[in-house]
Amino acid sequence: MDFNDLKDFITPADHLLFRAKKLFGREGKIIDAAIAYLEPGGGGPVEMHTHRHDHLFIVTSGQVRIRLGDSERILNPTESCRVPGCIAHAVWNHTDQTTVMIGISVE
């Protein structure tokens, strides 16, 4: 999900110069959320893992590499990725600068 792509955003009733987009459908219930600072070379878990809930990762500054099974995805600032918990995954900062991201756990 690219938050710079506004095509799916709407202006709610009684709002001006305001656009919004739901992040989750009816199935999405937030169970936890955190802000994370990943130092250069930092991340985890060391061994990729799976679990019952999904993650929504949103990068606010820096860049992360998300390992998803046999593939990888790079996220830059304002980009996000919903990671199904059933797919083995891990998140790493492969750059030389601190990365800041928000992680939301959803079931």
Domain containing residue 52: CATH number: 2.60.120.10
6 occurs within a structural domain: no
Residue pair 89/48 in contact (Cβ under 8 Å)? The answer is: yes
4 located within any domain: no
Question: For residue range 64-80, what is the model confidence (pLDDT) as tens digits?
Answer: 999 999 999 999 999 99
Instruction: Assess if residue 76 is contained within a domain.
Output: yes
Residue ranges of the chain whose pLDDT lies below 70:
1-5, 25-27
Which residue, chain included where needed, has tokens 């891990």?
90
In the chain, the number of structural domains is 1
**Strand 89-92's sheet: what is its strand order?**
43-49, 89-92, 64-68, 71-75
In a domain, 2, yes or no: no
| Enclosing domain of residue 36 | 30-106
